[in-house]
Amino acid sequence: MSLSVVAALVRNLIAVPAAVLRSRVAKDAEVLVLQHENAVLRRQIARVRYQPADRIWLAALSRLIPRGRWRQVFAVTPTTLLRWHRQLIVQKWTFGQTRRPGRPTTAPIVKQLILRLARENSTWGHRRIQGELARLGYPIAPSTVWEILHAAGIDPAPQRAGPTWRQFLTAQAHGILAADFLHLDTISLKRLYALIFIEHGTRRVHLAGITAHPTAGWTVQQARTLARALDHRMESLRFLLRDRDSKYTDAFDAVFEADDMEILRSPPRAPKANAICERAVGTLRRELLDRILIYDEAHAVKVLTEYLQHYNGHRPHQSRQQLPPDSAQSPAPTAVADLQAHRIRRRSTLGGLIKEYQRAA
């Protein structure tokens, strides 16, 4: 109860003895005057607004007047007095809510960062943005990112790929190396071919070489170069997965069989059988090759090499709990980072085509 209500109640209670001590004729005359004044006011006012002090005063005086006289004396009904009492009870036993029930709302600065990532990266869907936030130390749910983007009128999953093929030989994923050719066209419409390899266990992508004439001999030489570069990890690789392209000859297979690797050939015209490598090729196209013009073979080598440094060293991967392939750290922290205490820095690569985000120290 506020101080103003208490003060008004005290003043009214003090006035009661003075009214009792007056003469009966004076009190009757005053009552008649007040009743007439109330009748005049009721004709002018559609609804009377009572303050809390007025309600307490009327409730206290109601104990001194017979119930049969309430209709003639009071401007309110007994039901109204009871409703006022119920409201006082509700106010007494209603505790202030520190927050709304359910999960806490997303901080405005996080929403701004999500919209910033979506605006600066037109090909990122809500899961890609969620992976970037998890790597920055804010493990927000993908559904929350989806709702924020949807509410802002941004497509949560632009250029969504088709259904993926379930990984085969899951138990041996860390021992599988997959190979595939990727073609790209230069600004002069000359077609180039890039031979890439990907490790299933770490999702690390290797560029073996780029040429305009991928012969069988050239393919074997790139395989030997890659085998020497992966010498420290060849013991952990047990299988080589490739398609039935004629450029993969017995000499090509012998390079890997020398390290006790078994050659797995995918069925004819079945790209989903080499799904992980095909997905990496799709990523290269969506995030790089579809957004840049290639001048010649040297430019293609430079661009792909720079992008793979970003792909292997920074880009988060869902299969690795949002860690990049070259990261040997533990999974991203589950504690929520205070983004207000840290500035998010952006580093551009490939002339601003690809952007990397880091928390400032």
- Domain shared by 200 and 312, yes or no: yes
Q: Is residue 331 part of a domain?
A: no
Q: Is residue 235 part of a domain?
A: yes
- Domain shared by 68 and 128, yes or no: no
- Domain shared by 257 and 351, yes or no: no
Q: Is residue 227 part of a domain?
A: yes
Residue 155's pLDDT is 79
Confidence of residue 154 (pLDDT cuts 50, 70, 90): confident
pLDDT, tens digit, 9 for 90 and up, residues 189-223: 999 999 999 998 888 999 999 999 999 999 999 99
293 pLDDT above the threshold of 80: yes
Mean pLDDT of 145-171: 66
Helix axes 297-313, 275-287, angle to 10 degrees: 110
The residue type of 303 is V
Confidence of residue 161 (pLDDT cuts 50, 70, 90): very low
Residue 202's pLDDT is 86
| Total domains present in the chain | 3
d(C-alpha 221, C-alpha 219), whole Å: 5
- Domain shared by 311 and 190, yes or no: yes
- Domain shared by 179 and 305, yes or no: yes
Query: Cα-flanking dihedrals φ and ψ of residue 293, to 5°?
Result: -100, 130
Q: Which residues pair with 197 in a beta bridge?
A: 179, 206
- Domain shared by 265 and 200, yes or no: yes
- Domain shared by 132 and 262, yes or no: no
- 200 in Cβ contact with 190 (< 8 Å): no
Q: Structural domain of residue 239, as residue ranges?
A: 170-320
Mean pLDDT of 219-239: 88
User: Which residue's structure tokens are 């109330």?
Assistant: 38
pLDDT, tens digit, 9 for 90 and up, residues 340-351: 777 888 888 888
- Domain shared by 134 and 245, yes or no: no
pLDDT, tens digit, 9 for 90 and up, residues 165-190: 444 555 566 788 999 999 999 999 99
Q: If you compute the radius of gyration of the chain from its CA atoms, what whole number of angstroms results?
A: 39
CATH number, domain of 188, equals: 3.30.420.10
Tell which of 44, 61, 92 closes a domain: 92
Q: What is this structure's pTM?
A: 0.54
Q: Is residue 138 part of a domain?
A: yes
Range with the poorest average pLDDT among 18-22, 131-135, 140-144, 323-327: 18-22
pLDDT, tens digit, 9 for 90 and up, residues 41-100: 766 666 667 777 776 777 777 667 776 666 666 666 767 767 777 777 777 666 655 556
- Domain shared by 214 and 144, yes or no: no
DSSP letters spanning 117-166: HHHH-TT--HHHHHHHHHHTT----HHHHHHHHHHTT--SSTT---PPPP
- Domain shared by 123 and 60, yes or no: no
Q: Is 169 left (phi over 0), alpha (psi -120 to 50) or beta?
A: left
Tell which of 40, 68, 92 closes a domain: 92
Query: In this structure, what token pair is assigned to residue 301?
Result: 């080598």
37 pLDDT above the threshold of 60: yes
Range with the poorest average pLDDT among 18-27, 151-160, 270-279: 18-27
Side-chain-side CA neighbours of residue 48 (13 Å): 16
Mean pLDDT of the chain: 80
Residue 101's pLDDT is 63
